[in-house]
Amino acid sequence: MTEIKKTVVVGMSGGVDSSVAAYLLKEQGYEVKGLFMQNWQNEPGEVCTSEQDFKDASMVCDKLDIPLHRANFSDEYWDRVFKDFLSEHEKGRTPNPDILCNREIKFKSFLDYALKIGADLIATGHYASTVDKNGITYLARAVDITKDQTYFLHEVSSKEFSKTIFPLSNMKKDDVRKLAMRLGLVNAEKKDSVGICFIGERNLKDFLGRFITFKSGNIKDENNNVIGQHNGALLYTEGQRQGLNIGGVKGKPELPWYVYKKDIPNNTIYVCQGGDNELLMSIRVMIDSLHQINNEELELPFDCYVQVRHLQKPILAQLKCESSNYYIDFKQPVRAAAPGQSAVIYKDNICIGGGIISKSFNSIK
C-alpha cells in the first residue's frame, strides 16, 4: 500500500532561510506548497520591497518545482499587530512587533489559510526546534544558538507548534547559505531582512511620523541638567546609544551617552555615561502578564533563565507572583530591560514563555 505523503505549506518570505526549508522538506518526501504572505499595504509611490520578495520566492519555487500561493493579510496585520505597535509607542514603551506578528499572523492567519489549501502541517525558516514529550509539543532552541529565534516565538502556543516543522533546527546559518548556493537559488546571498516585521528597513522617525506626532524636548543628565535636545521622547529606548547627538559636555568625561529613563508626560529623556553605568542596570522587572506556551502549572517561585533581548546571554533568574503580579528577579543585574520589550523564560533549552516588561527596577533609581 502506497504511503500518502503529508502536505506541508511553507511560509515563503523570499529569503534564503525559507527557501532552503522548502527544499529540505521536499527532499524528506513531503508534498510541499509555498505561501507568500503580503502583510503591508504600500502607499502609492512607496518603494515596495514585498514585490521583490515575491519575485524571489516565485523564482525559488519554480526552481524547486513547488506551487506558490499568495495571501494578503494586510488587514489582519493592521488590526492585530500594527495598531498595538503604535499604541505601545504612544505609551512610551518599546514594542517588538515581530513577537506579535508571529502570534497573530505567521502562526494564526497563515496556519488557518494553510489548512484551507490542504496542509497537514506548516513550516517556516525560523531557527528553532520542537520537542514532543508524552504527546505534548514544546518549543526548544535551535542548534545554531547565534541565530536562535525562540525569543520571537514565545507568545505562540503548543497547539500551533504541534502543527509546525522547523526544517533549519539542526543547521548553522553558514551551511544554509552554502546549500542555497549549491542549489543555485537566486537568493543564496540575499542579506537577512531587518526592521519592522513585514514593513522592512525604514527610517523609524519618518515612518512613525505618518501616524504619531513627535515633539522635540530636553535631554537631561542624572543631575537634571539639560545637555541636549531630542526629536521626540517616544522614539528612544532605554539603553539606546545611537541618535542622541550629544557632543562634548563641559565637566564630563569623553564617554558615550545612553538613555536610562524616559519621562513621557514631560517629553524628557534622561541619559548617563558608560555602557556599564548602574543607572542602566535592572535587578527586577514586572511583566504585564505571563504567557505559557504549554500552560503547565509552574511551581512558584520558579528558577529559570531569562532573556530581555534577542540573542542576549540568558541570565539566571527567578519568576515570582506577588499580589497577582508577575516579577522576575535577576541573579545579576541586567542591562537595559526596557518597558515594552519581552522577558522570555527558559528552562534548559525549552522555552517556557514570557511576558512584556511593564516596569524595571534598579537598586539606585
C-alpha 313/C-alpha 331 separation (Å) is 13
Q: What is the pLDDT of residue 46?
A: 54
Is 61 among the catalytic positions? no
Task: For residue 50, give the C-alpha cell.
Answer: 514585498
Bin 179: left if φ > 0, else alpha if -120 < ψ < 50, else beta: alpha
C-alpha 291/C-alpha 235 separation (Å) is 27
Query: pLDDT 10s per residue in the chain (365 long)?
Result: 456 789 999 999 999 999 999 999 999 999 999 999 998 876 655 555 778 899 999 999 999 999 999 999 999 999 999 999 999 999 999 888 899 999 999 999 999 999 999 999 999 999 999 999 999 999 999 999 999 999 999 999 999 999 999 999 999 999 999 999 999 999 999 888 765 655 555 667 788 888 998 999 999 999 999 999 999 999 899 999 888 888 777 778 888 999 999 999 999 999 999 989 999 999 999 999 999 999 899 999 999 999 999 988 999 999 999 999 999 999 999 998 999 999 999 999 999 999 999 999 986 54
Q: What is the pLDDT of residue 1?
A: 46
The alpha helices in 65-203, defined as continuous H runs, are 74-77, 83-90, 97-101, 110-116, 158-161, 173-183
C-alpha 145/C-alpha 151 separation (Å) is 11
Please indicate, yes or no, whether the overall pTM of this predicted structure exceeds 0.75.
yes
The one-character DSSP state at 254 is S
Task: For residue 316, give the C-alpha cell.
Answer: 539566571
**Distances from the Cα of 3 to the Cα of 31, 46, 121, 220, 295, angstroms:** 12, 49, 17, 69, 35
| R_g over Cα of the chain | 22
| b/e 58-68 (16+ beta carbons within 10 angstroms → b) | bbbbeebebeb
214-275 is classed in which CATH architecture?
Answer: Roll (2.30)
Beta-strand (E) ranges in the chain?
7-11, 31-38, 68-72, 121-123, 129-133, 136-140, 164-165, 217-220, 226-230, 257-263, 268-273, 281-287, 291-292, 302-307, 315-322, 325-335, 342-347, 350-361
- Kindly report the CATH class assigned to 7-183: alpha beta
Q: What is the pLDDT of residue 143?
A: 96
Q: Using alpha carbons, select from 158, 177, 216, 208 the residue that is nearest to residue 351.
A: 158
Q: Active-site residue among 197, 272, 321, 351? A: 197
Residue 78: phi and psi, rounded to 5, are -60, -50
C-alpha 201/C-alpha 193 separation (Å) is 8
Residue 235: phi and psi, rounded to 5, are -80, -15
Question: Domain map of the chain by residue range?
Answer: 7-183, 214-275, 279-361
C-alpha 273/C-alpha 241 separation (Å) is 10
Task: For residue 334, give the C-alpha cell.
Answer: 541586567
Q: Active-site residue among 61, 101, 304, 351? A: 101
Instruction: Please tell me the CATH code under which domain 279-361 is placed.
Output: 2.40.30.10
Q: What is the pLDDT of residue 202?
A: 60
